[in-house]
């Protein structure tokens, strides 16, 4: 909820003293928001990853593409980059523009 820090502060004497505890609770329950998860009907517990979850039983399936002729591996950040990002090459070691910065 946003707070207006420029608004004049209400002192205890100005607050309505005749409000009952039940009225205050009812007012708060009407405006209270409950947190909800945005889940689809097809989502199940298996589709939700929790932080720190044990994923050791999972198997990754990716295709590794070897370095192409127009690419190089930066010896500073060890990322494969396109030749257009080559800043310098010294003793067979290539460095990218970002690392040479």
Q: How far apart are CA 98 and CA 101, in angstroms?
A: 5
The model's pLDDT over 51-95, given as tens digits with 9 standing for 90+, comes to 777 878 888 899 989 999 999 999 999 999 999 999 999 898 999
- pLDDT grade for 45, boundaries at 50, 70 and 90: low
Range(s) of the domain holding residue 96 = 67-100
Number of domains in the chain: 1
Which stretch of 1-5, 11-15, 78-82, 96-100 has the lowest confidence by average pLDDT?
Answer: 11-15
The answer to whether position 23 is within a domain reads no
Report if residue 86 sits inside a domain: yes
Residue 96 is assigned to a structural domain of this protein: yes
């Amino acid at each position: 909820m946003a707070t207006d820090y420029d608004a004049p502060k209400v002192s205890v004497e100005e607050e309505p003293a005749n409000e009952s505890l039940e009225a205050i609770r009812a007012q708060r329950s009407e405006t209270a928001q409950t947190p909800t998860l945005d889940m689809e009907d097809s989502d199940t517990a298996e589709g939700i990853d929790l932080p720190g979850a044990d994923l050791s039983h999972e198997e990754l399936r990716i295709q590794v593409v070897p370095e192409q002729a127009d690419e190089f591996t930066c010896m500073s950040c060890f990322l494969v980059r396109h030749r257009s990002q080559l800043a310098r090459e010294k003793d067979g070691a290539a460095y990218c523009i970002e690392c040479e910065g």
